[in-house]
Amino acid sequence: MATWDLGRAIRSWRDRLTPEQAGLPVGRRRRAPGLRREELAGLAGISVDYLTRLEQGRATTPSPQVVEALARSLRLADAEREVLFHLAGLTVPGPGIVPTRISPSVQRLLDRFTHTPTVVFDATWTLVTANPAYNALMGDTTRRSGLERNAAWRYLHGLPNRVRMSAEERDRLTEQLVADLRAAAAHYPDDPRVAELVQSIVESSPRAAELWRSGSGTTDHPPARRKVIDHPQVGPIELDCDTLIVAGDDLRIMIYTAEPGSEDESRLELAITLGTQQFTAR
């Protein structure tokens, strides 16, 4: 009965949330006002099949990470979030777990960046959410799941990345990421995902393994603020990238902007238009 109540709750909250409220482009044909299953699944980073099984009561043990992702994607208030965890048979994550909760006030801030590429990462550089403008600029993130949602894991495994970097920048970024992961492991000792992530990275990257064993690496090199994005349709776009740290929640918000009136601004606008049209046409 509890799993069926969980499914009905998720479906009810999905039906009440419009694409605009979720920060998604609105398609031309919609038979219902709420989010489609594939839209919610993409926002939460889970498969459509798994979301279907949750809503139908056939999946009985969602992980805390999945429940948190659903609460965030459904824009649940704090009390509703607690209900969702309760219906899933879970307790709300404690202080020893990497936080991924986006508070209502931070969400209101993110809503103001609808047409500005914006992405949010947690303390381990795992993707929390990205808006359509970011997906249009950097590539679709909605189909990523598991470790594929972690920027450090993707970078150190050599997965495609549209950011142009020199050899020196790559080495500094590797040091930065390892140092950040070491800090997260120390700050969140109760989160098994951190140990899994670190193990996967040190096993696949000799340089990361060397830095981890030696205790080297520094957080004194913040991510570059000026980046060139090689967009496959528009070409190179030079942008400013500012990283904001949410105090208390340990989130990183990265915002990409172009100088007003520049050719890069025109290219960015074109990239966003092309990308959002593609996502809307699905």
Dihedral of alpha carbons 210, 212, 217, 221, sign: positive
Residue 277's pLDDT is 75
- The C-alpha atoms of residue 133 and residue 73 are separated, in whole angstroms, by 17
pLDDT in tens, 233-256: 999 999 999 999 998 889 999 999
Average per-residue pLDDT for the chain: 89
- What local confidence, expressed as pLDDT, does residue 4 receive? 60
Residue 10 has pLDDT above 50, yes or no: yes
pLDDT for the residue numbered 1:
47
Model confidence pLDDT, tens digit, residues 52-77? 999 999 988 899 989 999 999 999 99
> End-to-end distance of the chain based on CA atoms, in angstroms?
35
What pLDDT shows up at residue 235?
97
Confidence at residue 135, expressed as pLDDT on a 0 to 100 scale: 94
H helices of 17-127, in order, are 37-44, 48-55, 64-73, 78-87, 104-111
Question: Which of 206, 244, 203, 249 is closest to 72 using CA atoms?
Answer: 249
CB 181 within 8 A of CB 194: yes
Task: Spell out the alpha helix ranges (H) of the chain.
Answer: 2-16, 37-44, 48-55, 64-73, 78-87, 104-111, 132-138, 151-156, 167-187, 192-204, 206-214, 263-280
Backbone dihedral angles phi then psi of residue 201, each to the nearest 5 degrees? -75, -45
Q: At 77, give phi and psi (nearest 5°).
A: -70, 165
Minimum mean pLDDT among 17-26, 33-42, 178-187: which range?
17-26
* Non-local CB neighbours of 106 within 8 Å, separated by 6+ positions: 246, 249, 251, 253
Domains of the chain, with CATH numbers?
A: 2-87 (1.10.260.40), 104-280 (3.30.450.180)
* 160-191: pLDDT as tens digits: 899 999 999 898 888 899 999 999 999 999 89
Taking only the tens place, the pLDDT of each residue in 70-100 is 999 999 998 999 999 999 999 998 888 999 9
pLDDT more than 90, % of the chain: 63
DSSP tag of 221: S
pLDDT grade for 218, boundaries at 50, 70 and 90: low
